[in-house]
Structure 1
Amino acid sequence: MEQGFDITLYEQNNFLGGKLGAHRDSDKPDPHEHCYHMYLNWYNNFWQFMAEIGAADKFIPSTVIGCRFPGDKQTRPYLTNPGSPATILTNMLNGVASPADQFLSAYSLLDLIGTQSMSGAVLEQTSVSNFFRSRGYSTEGSLTASARTLAEAFASPSYLSSARSYQSLVKYGYRNPTPSLWLLTQNTNDGIFEPWRRHLEARAKELKRRFKIHFQMRVESLHLTDGEVRELTLGEMPEEPTTDRNVDPKPSKTWKVNVPGDLVLAVPPGPLGRLVSPEVAACAPKLETVRELRSEPMISLDAYFKCRIPGLTKSITLLLGSKYNLSLLDISQVWKEWPEGGGTALNVISSNADLIADYPKEVIREIMLKELQRFLDFKLDDVDYDRCHVQTNVGEELFVNQVGSWDSRPKAVCEIPNLFLAGDFCQTFVDVVTVEGAVVSGLLAAEALRRKHKIGAPIDIIQPDSYPAFLPAALAAALRPAAFAAKAVSMADSMMRSNFSRIFPNG
């Protein structure tokens, strides 16, 4: 729009944002996000976007990622500003694992971002698990600690996740580690997407451009003429596909519209693969490889209670030892519009959802609530079942940075000259599937569109800072003797614990 374009946006839901968005069921006031979201310091383009729409002051810093074991009465710190020299000792002594294993877990990340023995291409073909297991200093305890952090960051097991992508996440975070993350004090619809919509409508009026959003309309197919997309088949959606993915809603009617200019597709890998027809693939063969991308299910439970649950904090909290890799955020402490004296409200995520994703929603709710009872002090009678809400993403799973996926990820441009692509799964310098990756991909698509038409000034796209590789490499080399000493301490500690358990099986 700033470069002189009119914009028509087709959105398959009745709300904006897709997986980042928040919706309300028609007969209930509670907003529901698919999962809680963390916003990191190095999301430079995202923060610039927030400042532009007047939403930057809606975030609060969170220095601690918390954790709980079964039976805990209070959330304890798990990681405090990871990557900050000031919190190294705090994180080593958090009591979750032995200090030696905690040191080795942190050291392995330093080793990863400083490694120069493997090229980026080799790291892309190497899993995080294999990288860490190949290091002589690793212990089972340090590998377990690293796997916990990875499951939270990637929603993917360490044996599937790309070491290069994880390297990107860590190196950007370590350059600016304080605070650990930021939390939005509203749901994303009210805090981000409604301000964004109002901002665009105001700018369109100022610039005398046309900006129109059509809700509950999905692109069903692309039609090419002379190698360019010149028609779309649209479908009118009777319900929101993003909010109930256990079913595949069909459009109530379809029709064709002309594409007089350019088309930017910002859809997940699965739907994009379905749009790549033989006609499209004949003109842009590389787009077929999007079907090779793998994704993982993730389940979200909004759990509402009639009372306050004791011992919870404002931090994202990992439930260590949970069967389904549960984590949670107490939104009743974070969202500012929460009524004084209201009951606890949790957004609970299962990042190991394969075991239960195909169950009916009522069954999923009961399974997750009973698992929560192992970690939190509440009775099922305390649950406000009328307000509880389950979302799965079956059918539109979360793309994860799995080993070898880079070459199958599309770029902003393809062989079809008026078709551009955006989404967190697209190739960008960010690499990691994050909110920032999605924002950058959109900016890259906009810049490619601007260059095609040779108008305006280049779009400012900010790359995240990171330390030169030789600095963490030098520090890792200097600390390597300490790492092997820590391994010896860890092995001795494990041996003593094993012998004690064998001699005194009842403690």
Structure 2
Amino acid sequence: MSGRESISANLADRRPRVAIIGGGLAGLAAAVRLVEHDCQVELFEARRTLGGRAGSFRDPETGEWLDHCQHVGMGCCTNLRDLFERTGCESLLRRYHTLHFFGPDGRRCDFRSSPWLPAPLHLANAFWRQKYLTAGQRRSVARTLLRLARQPATDSENSPSIGRWLREQHVSQVELERFWSVVLVSALGETLEHASLAAARKVFVDGFMRSRDAYVIDVPTVPLARLYDEYFAGWLRSRGAGIHCGVAAQQLHGSVERVTGFVDQRHESHAFDAVVIAVPWRRVADLIPNDWHAAWPKLSQFADFASSPITSVHLWLDRPITDLPHAVIVGRLSQWLFRRKEEPASIADAVDSRTSPANQHYYQVVISASRDLATRDREDVVREVMQDLAAIWPAADSARLLRWQLVTQREAVFSVRPGFEQRRPPQATPIRNLFLAGDWTQTGWPATMEGAVRSGYLAAARVLESVNRPADLLAPDLPMGRLARWLFQS
């Protein structure tokens, strides 16, 4: 028996001790699955709160939690929902079957599937109701969508961006601005000129066309900080896992053959049988001793991965401006509007108390791929956002802006540029008991909560495989309808 086999056999007979470095969604997902498979899990997060890039911050005026950016899942995000169900948190996701689009003229165009047509025809009526496109433009978009679905799903550095590919299909500028950018910039966090053809295809095929329920959105009903620190962490602790916030791993120790643990910022050593690194791509190399780098040639490439910013504009108004929980805004700087769940169900509910300090009405506007905002005055951005809202909802024109915050995450997501799929690392590493988790690893998904959860599940599966406890941990994708399969392959 080799040394490697001997270690694996020994660990198969007892509870493996696994360290997870990083308390974002990927690390939490890995922890959940490993705890379920009888591992002793200790999760370490450098910050005082969990969540990583998909986290929250305290409002300095009220102390309430505000998400850096409103995150949503879709019906196609089967592993994200699986995580919520496993931890008993499915009630904290509110599902919406109707999406509310507002065209440049302010007209509302609801997007909802047909109850009886099969995929992908289930969205034909919903698409046809988007009146901010002419009938000819809608037909052109439909033809282009079918051509896109029939494109190979492969990606390389020589592949075109989705913007270049669309221009090659002679797509008009209006279609680019009012359809393709609206969907893809929000879904991928990247512009059409930078995003890959393969990533765009995945959004439309998996997110809208392959299955009847793929397009619906799931919105968390509590701030992400509460979701992670109270619900997920509580579930883990109740099953014996350790959650250590404020403990920053500084460097691994052991050898290139086998990691034995790590040293934290207080110079305390922690010993483990396996380690999962679940930190942003730029931080991985810092955790690896310099004399190990030669055994991991691609390690230095991680720091060069391009990223894309997302800006959220947090607004407190003296009155409600809309009853809708969310809205997609077409052809403007603002892209999505979200209303806080606790807002009154009707504008009439708050008319009599508009000036009450306790009755501030909170909305969040999300702007993805927001590089162009970096050089703009912050007040000017907020002013334009308020103009966007007033052009759609008359109540916003007369509403008084009590206060605001503009938050930009400069590395909110990795940039899904052509060829990036080939650069993403697997969850296994050249060091046999060291593993990676993060939406930026090989998941087949763009930078999403689903990608983060998938990476955590895949990393957990690799850990279990290394201790002779193999398990397939991924939740199945939504099945593709027969008509969709035939259309996409014809």
**TM bucket, shorter chain:** 0.7 to 0.9
Letter in 1 for 2:175: S
Mark the CA change 1:23 to 1:96 in structure 2 (over 3 Å): closer, same or farther: same
SS of aligned partner of 1:286: helix
Between the aligned partners of 2:454 and 2:158, the Cα distance in structure 1 is 21
Q: Deviations over 1:85-111 (max 9, x none)?
A: 244134223211112212322332232
SS of aligned partner of 1:255: coil
User: Is 1:267 matched with 2:279?
Assistant: yes
- What is the 5 A alignment of 1:17-416? 17-25=51-59, 28-69=62-103, 72=106, 76-77=108-109, 79-81=111-113, 85-115=121-151, 118=152, 120-121=154-155, 125-135=159-169, 138-144=171-177, 145-173=179-207, 174-178=209-213, 180-191=216-227, 193-204=229-240, 211-230=241-260, 232-235=262-265, 254-275=266-287, 278-310=290-322, 312-315=323-326, 317-323=327-333, 325-332=334-341, 341=350, 342-357=359-374, 365=382, 368-369=385-386, 372-377=389-394, 378=396, 382-385=400-403, 388-394=404-410, 396-416=411-431
Check the 8 A contact 2:104/2:132 in 1, yes or no.
no
Paired residues, number: 438
Between the aligned partners of 1:71 and 1:142, the Cα distance in structure 2 is 15
SS of aligned partner of 2:409: coil
Check the 8 A contact 1:172/1:466 in 2, yes or no.
no
What are the ranges of 5 or more consecutive residues in structure 1 without an aligned counterpart?
205-210, 236-253, 479-507
Q: Deviations over 1:244-295 (max 9, x none)?
A: xxxxxxxxxx424233322111112222354456434222112222123211
Between the aligned partners of 1:233 and 1:27, the Cα distance in structure 2 is 37
Check the 8 A contact 2:159/2:418 in 1, yes or no.
yes
User: How far apart are 1:71 and its partner, in Å?
Assistant: 6.5
What are the ranges of 5 or more consecutive residues in structure 2 without an aligned counterpart?
1-34, 351-358
User: How far apart are 1:122 and its partner, in Å?
Assistant: 5.3
Check the 8 A contact 1:231/1:256 in 2, yes or no.
no
User: How far apart are 1:412 and its partner, in Å?
Assistant: 0.4
Check the 8 A contact 2:261/2:273 in 1, yes or no.
no
- TM-score for both structures, normalised by structure 2: 0.79
Between the aligned partners of 2:80 and 2:48, the Cα distance in structure 1 is 23
Mark the CA change 1:128 to 1:233 in structure 2 (over 3 Å): closer, same or farther: same
SS of aligned partner of 2:372: coil
Mark the CA change 1:412 to 1:334 in structure 2 (over 3 Å): closer, same or farther: farther
Letter in 2 for 1:462: A
Mark the CA change 1:372 to 1:219 in structure 2 (over 3 Å): closer, same or farther: farther
User: How far apart are 1:131 and its partner, in Å?
Assistant: 2.7
User: Is 1:462 matched with 2:475?
Assistant: yes
User: How far apart are 1:381 and its partner, in Å?
Assistant: 6.8
Letter in 2 for 1:382: R
Letter in 2 for 1:128: I
Between the aligned partners of 1:133 and 1:381, the Cα distance in structure 2 is 41
Between the aligned partners of 2:167 and 2:485, the Cα distance in structure 1 is 18
Identity %: 19
2:7 equivalent in structure 1: none
Between the aligned partners of 2:388 and 2:161, the Cα distance in structure 1 is 30
Letter in 1 for 2:86: E
Between the aligned partners of 2:289 and 2:382, the Cα distance in structure 1 is 38
User: How far apart are 1:434 and its partner, in Å?
Assistant: 1.7
Check the 8 A contact 1:92/1:102 in 2, yes or no.
yes
How large is the RMSD of aligned CA atoms in angstroms?
A: 3.2
